[in-house]
Amino acid sequence: MSWQEYAVFLLESIGIYNRDLMLRYYRKIKKFMIWHRNKYGIDFKDIPETAESKLENQKKAISWRRIARAIEKNDFYMRRLSFAQTKNDDKELMDLIHKWDNLLNKTTKTDDKTLQKIIQENYS
């Protein structure tokens, strides 16, 4: 399976259980791709499967592996794709928590410390 196929697979898998979360990730990834197209002229079809690991880790290269890893890590804010946390993101997170309480709640496993903090504050 290619990294592109894996990223699509992850999005579709999330969509089975939580369409809103899948669409959020999709919007962020689309914005990420548009930014790279406008800034560097990299069209969607030209996105490489992988880039040099060092550049990916420094958030200086676009690749399907980087996109897939962001989804894989449940990166709600998509920090791995160079997005920052905003108030609108926090509001969307709270809306998702309340709407999908059975899937996103105090037992949700994530490496994202901000997400852990928000969940803990709302379920303590």
The tens digit of pLDDT for each residue in 35-52 reads: 999 999 999 899 999 999
Q: Which residues contact 78 (CB under 8 A, 6 or more apart)?
A: 25, 28, 29, 32, 70
pLDDT at res. 81 = 94
Question: Which residue reads 């509001």 in tokens?
Answer: 91
Domain boundaries, the chain: 3-123
Return the DSSP state at 119: H
Q: Measure the CA dihedral 64/65/70/73, to 10°.
A: 140
DSSP state of 1: -
Q: What is the largest CA-CA distance in the chain?
A: 47
pTM of the model: 0.80
pLDDT in tens, 101-111: 665 566 766 77
- Other Cβ atoms less than 10 A from the Cβ of 63: the count is 19
Annotate 14-64 with DSSP letters as a single string: HHHH-HHHHHHHHHHHHHHHHHHHHHH---GGG--S---HHHHHTT-S--H
